[in-house]
Chain A
Amino acid sequence: MGDTRTGFARRWDKIKRSWYKFSKNPLSIIGATLLLIIVLIAIFAPFVAPYPEHAGSFVDFPEASKPPSWKHLCGTDVFGRDILSRIFFGFRFSLAMGIVVISLTAPLGVTLGLTAGYSKGTWVDTLIMRITDIFVAVPPLVLALAVCSILKPSVFNAMMAISLLWWPWYCRLVYGIASSIKNEFYVQAAEVTGSSKLHILFREIFPNCYGPIFTKLSLDMGWVILIGSALSFVGLGAQPPTPDLGTMVADGGKYMPDQWWIAVFPAFAIMFIVLGFNLLGDGIRDMLEVEEV
């Protein structure tokens, strides 16, 4: 009895199975939905924000520091800018920061981790892991602060600073898995048959690291955004009038507790992004689990 399904049918079945695994935990769906909403808002910000022009330099002093109302759902800040609209645009910066940092650091960290793990016990392993140790020893926020205070404070520099310190964690994560997998029979089977090192690293070992890597990726998005916000909070990230969530919390802090809405709503926005990614991360981990039948 042959498999008469087309390649498409097979792929669709795989997708359905993955969805089943993902959706077993309702929280994962909540996280995914939350993130989907945030991403859509970020992409379509100019169209969905009630006052898109408020995202940049804008002043309207008569409307300044107004509490939440039907006209301004999250109130206005001291310049009269609609906070909800600024939050929508703020999502763009936060997500961009997360994506840029992760896309720079994850591939580098994973590749180094695979190489070091597979060469465990040789000088390659020692070299890579000691370099990793050096980077790990420095607290990210501190280095980011240092870098940003030397260079001009900007979102770009903040992202570079964070990237510098982010890759070692991927390296370590993958190193652990790779060094234990390399003794599995299927890796030895590939070696014995003469497969290239590249094949073994990326086609045999790497796919078995998907779970932890993707989980970490999604959690990291939350962390990077928090650290970026922290940098902005101390003035080293996005500069005004950029509608960055961290900056908004920082500025709004001065007006607590009377004009609480100026800081509190952006803070919630940060919380929702991080929460969304965390819940999504759990779901992805479930989805990537190898099923035992």
Chain B
Amino acid sequence: MRLLDIQNLHVNFDVYGGTLKVLNGVNLYMEEGEKVGLVGETGCGKTTTAKSILRILPMPPAKIGGGEIFFEAEDILKMGLRKLRALHSHGISMIFQDPTASLNPVFTIGYQLMDTIRYSSVEEALSRREIKRRAVSALQDVALPDPERIIENFPIQLSGGMKQRICIAMALASRSRLLIADEPTTSLDVTIQAQVLKLLGQLVREKDTSTIFITHSLGVVREWTERVYVMYAGGMVETAKTAELFRSPIHPYTQGLMKAVPKLTGEGIALGISGRIPDYRNPPPGCRFHPRCPHVMDICRKEQPPYFNAGDTHQVACFLYRE
């Protein structure tokens, strides 16, 4: 049984002048224990997907247009409130991009961390001492020096890297089975990012937590994940094992992205991908990438490509690979 299975998810937003058809048939799955990457640029729908999994999208203006999200074989979209709350407390947890915004500035770290622990283990009815012990242990897990003192600190007294580690500690303290990390290191300095990534890798291995790592940085995805989905304009365009994807990216969008990344070899920077991301009010028919695609064919303008196989676990949504 797959841990997570998103099938054909459609999500729309109602705005001035129409409906934004943001997610257009998202397909994504995860087995237990995997480290899966979700890479895509701003506006492609990665965060919308993540928030849909947790059902924390603002429901107006967002609307689910169809599809299912199966978590351990149950459809999250159809869950009742109580099950949903149980899901949030120890099924799935999430780390957000900006650690400063994720922590409440007027409460101490200890207060927030212990709150999380308490809510996630409501059935166990832990004593205060036990909660505190778990909080300290969680902070030690993320290699924060002097956890006892940090528990008394306020977020403003800590650096970005430390705050993000605390958010990671909070997410993992609830012992969830699935962790969604939405751009967890984007706002951190390079050397701190390296530390945090290494730490996160160790922790998810130790605690056997499956992880979805969302980012727009191809380099980070390559270092950290085992399998990758490339997302564009509300749909997955390519997916493969990480090593395979970087060795031979085949979707024109993925190729464009790879070329646009500045390389240490100093070979100059490619011109980027012409055009802009589509207007979700009037998305292009057929393949949403076709207006920007250097290999566009007639069929691309009319039909949306399904996944085609291009090797073991390598799938691409592009008519170039239809055989």
List residues of chain A with CB under 8 Å of any chain B CB: 17, 20-21, 291
Contacts and interface: CB of A to CB of B under 8 A. Distances in A.
Contacts, number: 4
A272 to B, nearest CB: 31
Interface of B: 16
Interface class of chain B by DSSP: loop
B308 to A, nearest CB: 34
4 contacts: A17-B16, A20-B16, A21-B16, A291-B16
A221 to B, nearest CB: 29
Contacts of B16: 17, 20-21, 291
B178 to A, nearest CB: 30
Contacts of A21: 16
A20 B18 CA distance: 12
Nearest to B20: A293
Closest 4 CB pairs of A and B: A20-B16, A17-B16, A21-B16, A291-B16
A37 to B, nearest CB: 28
A202 B16 CA distance: 30
A17 to B, nearest CB: 7
A291 B17 CA distance: 13
Contacts of A291: 16
A20 B16 CA distance: 7
B292 to A, nearest CB: 17
B71 to A, nearest CB: 31
Nearest to A293: B15
A132 B286 CA distance: 63
B226 to A, nearest CB: 35
Contacts of A17: 16
B34 to A, nearest CB: 34
A284 to B, nearest CB: 17
Nearest to A21: B16
A288 to B, nearest CB: 15
Nearest to B279: A293
A291 B16 CA distance: 10
A21 B16 CA distance: 8
B112 to A, nearest CB: 26
